[in-house]
Structures are given as C-alpha cells and as structure tokens.
Amino acid sequence: DSGVTQTPKHLITATGQRVTLRCSPRSGDLSVYWYQQSLDQGLQFLIQYYNGEERAKGNILERFSAQQFPDLHSELNLSSLELGDSALYFCASSVAEGFYEQYFGPGTRLTVT
C-alpha cells in the first residue's frame, strides 16, 4: 500500500458527461501528479500540482482540468467525455517539487459508453 488513495475505483458514464476523480496524497507529500494509462497511448503524464499551485503540464486536454486544495488532496475534472477517454487514471504523490520518486495510487478506471 503506497499511502495514496483514489476514489472512485471504477466509474462508468456516458459520452458528453463530466466526472471528477479524487486523490489524497501520502501524508507529508506536497506534490500530486495525474496520469492517464490507455492501451493505445500507454502511460501519459497529465499535470502536476505542488502545494496548491500548478507546477507542470503534460499531455492534458483542454476538456480536462485539475486542482489541489489546501488540505493537499487533488481532483481531476474530465468534461465532454468521449469514448477515447476511457482509461485508467492514476494519481501519484511525492514530497518534492520537481519530478522525483513518486508513489502511485491504485487508479480509477473510467469507462465511457
């Protein structure tokens, strides 16, 4: 158990809908990272927050957004969902600001029908 928690574990929704994925980092970690893992694209970095501020951006679509709250938990919002957004979404955390060793949560499996 990495200490990173993600909810929900599974999510099934329809195209055009909006969902929110939640992540709680390990105690003491200030950085939160979001990743998308799909069969065709592999594992892709989406975005990083450090202590409430956006720190780095990867291949995140404009339909997606994230934030990190004062208690350091983070939410990833996915809107206008398309079939191709079906994937496993991971959250990871680390103590440092820059990319460093990260501890991954178990993931949220999103299925868009």
Partner 1 sequence: AQSVTQLDSHVSVSEGTPVLLRCNYSSSYSPSLFWYVQHPNKGLQLLLKYTSAATLVKGINGFEAEFKKSETSFHLTKPSAHMSDAAEYFCVALGNEKLTFGTGTRLTIIP
Distance, CA of 107 to CA of 99 (rounded, Å): 19
Chain residues binding partner 1 by CB under 8 A are: 2, 4, 42-45, 56, 58, 90, 92, 98-107
40 or 71, CB closer to partner 1?
Answer: 40
Angle at alpha carbon of residue 67, lines to 99 and 92, rounded to 5°: 35
Over the range 30-56, which residues count as b (16 or more CB within 10 Å of their CB) and which as e?
A: bbbbbbbeeeeeeeebbbbbbeeeebe
Shortest Cβ distance from residue 40 to partner 1 (Å)?
Answer: 11
Q: Which is nearer to partner 1, 22 or 79 (CB)?
A: 22
Q: Minimal distance in Å, beta carbon 91 to partner 1?
A: 8
Least Cβ distance, residue 110 to partner 1 (angstroms): 14
Please state whether 2 falls in left (phi above 0), alpha (psi between -120 and 50) or beta. alpha
Please identify, using beta-carbon distances, which residue of 44 and 79 lies nearer to partner 1. 44
Q: Are 112 and 13 in contact (CB under 8 A)?
A: yes
In the complex, the smallest distance separating the C-beta of residue 80 from partner 1, rounded to whole angstroms, is 26
Which residue, 62 or 101, has its beta carbon nearer to partner 1?
101
